[in-house]
């Protein structure tokens, strides 16, 4: 959530920065915001006047009592002020709630270093690593390569519908090995603390990281049932959601907290399934594992002092790159433009891995700095050097998307006979085995 004081001080400047995002819809109902702010100021001014008047009258009552004079008229006046004050406080609460609801739908402001542009075509390549391997034969895609190894989309569809997969045998082991390798690297080499988080969270947790209210239609959500006297399950009205990333649960661990300055940075990682009901437009990436309603990811989260958050973003991006480098997978780093930034991000780097069958780079990680956007929603603070409570900055990144890493390994390490050479760093998870065969 944006700082409302920033809008109060420089509304045109905030709107100008938001418009860099190039959304076809306005981010903020300016007329409604201005109207509510005007009413808030009027009521607040009147409230302060009433409080001052009540204090003055209360002193008069004391003076009248000391003189033995009648206080009834003044007390009646104080009673009237109390009624008006109560009404003002109630209206202020309504206005504050409406302002908060307006701001919940407003995205973060792009950092000045983010390249300007309307969509992904304006993203800027920062660097590349590795050279795509010359296979010497026409590459197969991961669907054809994975089928003999246990990658089964038919069973996934039978169990859950389209965009679900079922893994068995060698390909299931490869998926597990990739996740284990990622966790081992992030914890053993990069200083993250491994976590295991709930996969179902409450509504306010998603509000804290910005998935709600804007992206409700892209979430899987349920009502918790409770057992009635008759033994039948009924909705308890407790709205809960399956996480779309463990960023949600990891970041919210500092919700409503005041941290000691020396507790920062906090670096957390977790391997979890991720659930997204809107996994891309129809007709695009519907074949295979690129866009699934359920997929696994090893997530990185950092909670840091605001002074170091952009250094932390560079560090986190390198931590994601390290996984690809150890796996020997060619990739490129791309700085997202203003029109392609995520809702809560001020700056984002995407890592795109080379896929031989598609002959192109495809996203496998996003690393973002959210500055205080999420912290303000969560009320996550720390004691700064002046001893005052200050909002932390939060960052998140994929380290990496496990399913897409599996796709990349299958395609980049395929052999002409359909076998897959196991990347050297993964061989310890296979007892030293060098090849995956049907």
Position 186 confidence tier, pLDDT thresholds 50, 70, 90? very high
* 302 lies in the same domain as 402: yes
CB-CB contact of 408 with 364 (8 Å): yes
* 351 lies in the same domain as 397: yes
Position 70 confidence tier, pLDDT thresholds 50, 70, 90? confident
Instruction: Choose one of 78, 105, 132: the last residue of a domain.
Output: 105
* 152 lies in the same domain as 300: yes
* 58 lies in the same domain as 146: no
Identify the pLDDT of residue 222: 86
Name which residue leads in pLDDT, 48 or 127. 127
The string of pLDDT tens digits covering residues 297-323 is 999 999 999 999 999 999 999 999 999
Instruction: Choose one of 54, 70, 105: the last residue of a domain.
Output: 105
Percent of the chain past pLDDT 70, that is, above it, reads 95
Which entry of 17, 291, 377, 381 is annotated as an active-site residue? 291
Kindly tell me the burial class for residue 375, based on how many C-beta atoms sit within 10 Å of its own C-beta (0-12, 13-18, 19 or more): buried
At residue 224, φ and ψ (nearest 5 deg) are: -70, 135
* 332 lies in the same domain as 361: yes
Identify the pLDDT of residue 417: 96
Cα dist. 177→21, 22, 109, 141, 188 in Å? 39, 41, 38, 21, 16
First-to-last alpha carbon distance for the chain, in angstroms, is: 51
Identify the pLDDT of residue 359: 96
266 is an annotated ligand-binding site residue? no
pLDDT at 280 over 80: no
Residues forming beta bridges with residue 354, ordered by sequence position: 361
* 340 lies in the same domain as 386: yes
Identify the pLDDT of residue 229: 54
User: How many alpha carbons lie under 13 Å from residue 237 in its C-beta half-sphere?
Assistant: 0
Q: Give the chain's domain count.
A: 2
366 is an annotated ligand-binding site residue? yes
CB-CB contact of 247 with 209 (8 Å): yes
Which entry of 165, 366, 381, 411 is annotated as an active-site residue? 366
Identify the pLDDT of residue 79: 78
pLDDT at 438 over 90: no
Kindly tell me the burial class for residue 396, based on how many C-beta atoms sit within 10 Å of its own C-beta (0-12, 13-18, 19 or more): buried
309 is an annotated ligand-binding site residue? no
- The range of the structural domain enclosing residue 43 comes to 29-105
Q: What is the mean pLDDT of residues 409-425?
A: 98
Identify the pLDDT of residue 361: 97
Q: Is 287 a catalytic residue?
A: no
* 93 lies in the same domain as 136: no
Identify the pLDDT of residue 278: 67
d(C-alpha 267, C-alpha 249), whole Å: 13
* 146 lies in the same domain as 81: no
The string of pLDDT tens digits covering residues 164-185 is 999 999 999 999 999 999 999 9
Domain with 253 in it: what CATH number?
Answer: 3.30.930.10
Position 236 confidence tier, pLDDT thresholds 50, 70, 90? low
pTM: 0.91
């Amino acid at each position: 959530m944006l700082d409302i004081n920033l809008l109060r001080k420089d509304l045109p400047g905030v709107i100008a920065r938001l418009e860099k995002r190039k959304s076809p819809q306005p981010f903020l109902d300016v007329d409604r915001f201005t109207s509510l702010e005007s009413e808030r100021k009027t009521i607040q001014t009147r409230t302060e006047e009433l409080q001052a008047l009540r204090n003055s009258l209360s002193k008069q009552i004391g003076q009248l009592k000391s003189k033995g004079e009648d206080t009834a008229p003044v007390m009646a006046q104080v009673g009237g002020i109390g009624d008006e004050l109560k009404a003002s406080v109630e209206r202020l609460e309504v206005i504050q709630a409406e302002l908060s609801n307006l701001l919940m739908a407003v995205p973060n402001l792009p950092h000045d270093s983010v390249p300007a542009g309307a969509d992904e075509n304006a993203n800027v390549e920062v660097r590349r690593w590795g050279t795509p391997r010359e296979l010497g034969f026409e590459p197969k895609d991961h669907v054809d390569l994975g089928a003999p190894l246990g990658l089964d989309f038919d069973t996934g569809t039978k169990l859950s519908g389209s965009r679900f997969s079922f893994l068995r045998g060698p390909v299931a082991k490869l998926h597990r090995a990739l996740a284990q390798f990622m966790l081992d690297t992030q914890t053993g080499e990069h200083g993250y603390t491994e976590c295991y988080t709930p996969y179902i969270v409450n509504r306010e947790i998603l509000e804290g990281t910005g998935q709600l209210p804007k992206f409700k239609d892209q979430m899987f959500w349920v009502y918790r049932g409770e057992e009635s006297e008759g033994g039948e399950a009924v909705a308890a009205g407790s709205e809960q959601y399956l996480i779309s990333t463990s960023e949600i649960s990891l970041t919210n661990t500092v919700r409503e907290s005041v941290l000691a300055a020396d507790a920062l940075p906090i670096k957390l990682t977790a391997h979890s399934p991720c659930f997204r009901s809107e996994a891309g437009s129809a007709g695009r990436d519907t074949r295979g594992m690129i866009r699934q309603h359920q997929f696994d990811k090893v997530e990185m989260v950092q909670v840091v002092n605001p002074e170091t958050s952009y250094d932390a973003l560079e560090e986190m991006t390198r931590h994601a790159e390290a996984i690809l480098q150890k796996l020997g997978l060619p990739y490129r780093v791309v700085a997202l433009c203003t029109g392609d930034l995520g809702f809560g991000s001020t700056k984002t780097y995407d890592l795109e891995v080379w896929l031989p069958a598609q002959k192109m780079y495809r996203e496998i990680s996003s690393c973002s700095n959210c500055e205080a956007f999420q912290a303000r929603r969560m009320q996550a603070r720390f004691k700064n050097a002046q001893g005052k409570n200050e909002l932390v900055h939060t960052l998140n990144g994929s380290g990496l998307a496990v399913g897409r890493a599996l796709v990349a390994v299958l395609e980049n390490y395929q052999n002409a006979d359909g076998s897959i050479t196991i990347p050297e760093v993964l061989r310890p998870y296979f007892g030293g085995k060098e090849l995956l065969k049907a």
